Each structure stands twice: as structure tokens, then as C-alpha cells.
Amino acid sequence: MKISEKILSSSLTTVFASVGATFVVAYAFFKLAGPVPISVSQTTVEKKNTFDVSGEGLVTAVPNLAEINLGIRIEKMTVAEAQKEANRVINTIQDELKVLKIDEKDIKTLSYQVYPNYGPLGERRVTGYVVDTSLRVKVKDFDKINQVIDLGSKNGANQIGSLSFSLDEEDLEKEKNKAREEAVAKAKEKAKNLANISGVRLGKIISVQEDLPSAFAPRSLGGITLEAKDEETQIMPGSQEIKVIITLSYEII
């Protein structure tokens, strides 16, 4: 064997020995560590083209429920005297409301607070005690609103915390449904016209969204100071709008 052939044979032997050693190490690692986990994930994204249109329904409703807050403020030298007078006024007003055929469940005490009254600023001397209380009266017969306010004034109520008008839940839902029907009809008509103009073919409605920017929130007339007087109080409830916006989403086919 020539010298060059010996060198080549020696090199090949070294390479095979190295490869074999690497294979042995890899095999030993595989046996110890176990198979390397392989995961394959697949995500399918489905894109749907939709055609969205909105319609607005608007109805005008007259409230059928009034809530009147009758405030009573009594100041006396002692707590007992203030409470006794406040209770007398409350009982008198409640009796008068029952004469008007206001249901007892529609008369509710909202607040009842007792606190000391102090002298001029800088003095901590108690000059008396105050009872602050208020009654909420629900009135369904609006012809009685003025009478409720007037009898409250004449029998010791000296403030109205608020006077608000609203719809009861059943009638409010009926008015909302009227606005919804109008909004849906307008949205469908708009979708039909726009599709014809743009050449888009519409499929079925796949979603409906509702927005209630105006749902007949109670309207308050704010606080009014009452004084005993001969003239009747004149209050008019007026009317309010209920607005509903409906958005329809159509499939494009």
C-alpha cells in the first residue's frame, strides 16, 4: 500500500469513528429524554361580508305617572319636640292623601334625618334640633297632582324635592315596541334601496342591534319652595319622545 493510500484510509477511519460516536450520543440522549413532542396547529379564518343599515323610530308619548317629593323641615329646641312635630305633619299629610284616594303603597318615606342646629359661625353652641324628612307620592290620576301639592303645603310640607313625570313599565314597553317597528321598517326599506342602487345582492339578516338614546327618562321639574296660598298650583305634564335606533346586518350573496 502506498503512503497516500494509507493516509486516506486513516482519514476515513477517523471520520466513520466520529460519525459513529455522534450517533451513539444522539441515541443515548433520545433514550433518556424520550421523543421530542411535535405539535401542528391549524387556524381557519372565515370572513363574512355584511351589509349594515340603520333605521330610526320615534314616537311621542304622554306620561301617565307622576312622582312628587314632599319635603318637611321642622326645627325645635329638643329632638323629641322636633320629631313629635315632624310625625304629626307626616301623619296629617298621609291622612289627607288617603282622602284623595292615593293608595297607601304609593306613599313612601324617602329620608328621615335628625341633626343639631348651631349658632353663628365660630360658635359650637347648639341652638336647637332639626328633623328633615320627605315623602314620595306616586300619582296616576294627573287631576290630583295639584291637589297633592296644595294639601302638602297647607299641612306643613314646605319643600318639593322634585316633581317628575314618567311612564309605567308596561306602557313604556308598548311605546318602545312602536318605535322598534318603525325603526326596523325604515332600515329594511333603506337596505332594499341601497342594494338596488349599488347592485349588491342581500341574503338573510344575521344580526340586529338596538340603541336607545331616548327611552323616556323621568323628567324632573326640580325643587320648588311651597308656601300656603289660596290659588291652586298649576302643573302640566307635557309629552316626551322615545327614540330607538335599529341596525340590521345582512349577508352579501
Task: Convert the pLDDT of each residue in 135-159 to its tens digit.
Answer: 999 999 988 988 998 999 999 998 8
Instruction: Tell me: pLDDT of 228 over 50.
Output: no
Under 8 Å between Cβ of 148 and 168? no
Q: Tell me, what's the pLDDT at 55?
A: 98
Beta strands in 2-78 (DSSP E): 50-61, 65-76
Residues 159 and 71: their CA atoms lie apart, in Å, by 5
Is 47 exposed, middle or buried (CB count within 10 Å of its CB: 0-12, 13-18, 19+)?
exposed
pTM over 0.85: no
Q: Which candidate, 147, 118, 148, 143, places its Cα nearest to that of 130?
A: 118
Confidence band for 246, pLDDT divided at 50, 70 and 90? very high
Summarize the confidence of residues 62-88 as an average pLDDT: 94
Instruction: Tell me: pLDDT of 224 over 80.
Output: no
